[in-house]
Amino acid sequence: MASYTLKINNKNFTIEADPTMPLLWAIRDLAGLTGTKYGCGIAQCGACTIHLNGNPVRSCSIPVSAAANQSITTIEGLSDDNSHPVQQAWIQDQVPQCGYCQSGQIMAAAALIKRNPNPTDKDIDMAMQGHICRCGTYPRIRKAIKTAAALSTAKASTK
């Protein structure tokens, strides 16, 4: 066991954990942020996606020791009031069915829009590859990413 500081959503959490504990466990069980989901535990489904220093990563497959003192954003930190363009688009286009995979989908989509404000179908397919939805919401996810890109551009032009 060792002591680590996790910087999650601009807040510091001091935790005691085995260095090899998956970051996902620390986020959910030690920091108490349960919006990030466990699907497979082996980096194959995308349900556990968070941002580490702004990049989308699969938190089930990163040891907590590798994420200490770095900037972590979870679904809870995307916005205070569901105002992030991806959240707005997901509501507008009614994307989720059971919802289980959607935190990971939203975090992947948010990272895509940030680095590519106008993604093509191909860009979307590449970025969302390996984000499994057992309910098959893929067409709505693709539509909502385009909605989010438009909302994001509109928001930027009113600033």
Q: Which residues of 15-41 are buried (b: 16+ CB within 10 A; e: fewer)?
A: bebeeebbbbbbbbebbebebbbbbee
Q: Quick check: 99 binds ligand FES (CB under 6 A)?
A: yes
What is the C-alpha separation between 31 and 134, in angstroms, rounded?
28
Stretch that binds ligand FES, among 34-42, 64-72, 107-115, 118-126 (CB under 6 A): 34-42
Rounded to an integer, what distance in angstroms lies between the CA atom of residue 40 and that of residue 34?
A: 16
Region binding ligand FES by CB under 6 A among candidate stretches 76-84, 97-105, 107-115, 150-158: 97-105
Among 93, 96, 148, 152, binds ligand FES (CB under 6 A): 96
Residue 40 amino acid letter: C
Regarding 150 and contact with ligand FES (CB under 6 A), the answer is no
Which positions touch ligand FES (CB under 6 A)?
38-41, 43-48, 58, 60, 96-102, 133-135, 137
